[in-house]
């Protein structure tokens, strides 16, 4: 099975020695996305969890699109929150992006995320071979 590295300007460039995502067969493994605006390469100025969640999911959508997939292709996500008190508001925005047949998910409180973001989400998706 061949490994294909995913790169797209629709999501922020990797800020370390990793890829935005990797395709292996019909599986897509997306690296964690934080609320970085791909146009500026900086964290978005909004600090509320709703805006940050929206930006993260738009970044994920961008990587999926570059791989010929969509949010409907996602089978598993992991959400990392800096503060579990943000769960309800994050969940509200998350449900807008996954309104039907949402993927399996774990949500974890993390003491610190890259660039001191309030949220990071990674995912696994499937695509047709």
How many domains does the chain contain in total? 1
Which range marks the domain in which residue 107 is found? 3-126
- CATH number assigned to the domain comprising residue 65: 3.30.1330.40
CA distances from 64 to 56, 99, 111 (A): 12, 17, 28
Query: Over its length of 129 residues, how does the chain's per-residue pLDDT go in tens digits?
Result: 799 999 999 999 988 899 999 999 999 999 999 999 999 999 999 999 999 999 999 999 999 999 999 999 999 999 999 999 999 999 999 999 999 999 999 999 999 999 999 999 999 999 985
pTM, two decimals, is: 0.95
Helix (H) / strand (E) element for 113: namely: none
């Amino acid at each position: 099975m061949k490994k294909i590295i995913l790169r797209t300007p629709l999501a922020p460039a990797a800020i370390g020695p990793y890829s935005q995502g990797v395709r292996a067969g019909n599986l897509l493994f997306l690296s964690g996305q934080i609320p970085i605006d791909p146009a500026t390469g900086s964290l978005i100025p909004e600090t509320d969890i709703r805006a940050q969640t929206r930006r993260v999911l738009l970044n994920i959508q961008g990587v999926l699109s570059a791989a010929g997939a969509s949010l409907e292709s996602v089978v598993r996500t992991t959400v990392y929150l800096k503060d579990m008190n943000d769960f309800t508001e994050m969940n509200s925005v998350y449900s807008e992006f996954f309104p039907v047949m949402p993927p399996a998910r774990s949500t974890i409180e993390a003491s610190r995320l890259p660039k001191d973001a309030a949220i990071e989400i990674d995912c696994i998706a499937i695509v047709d071979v």
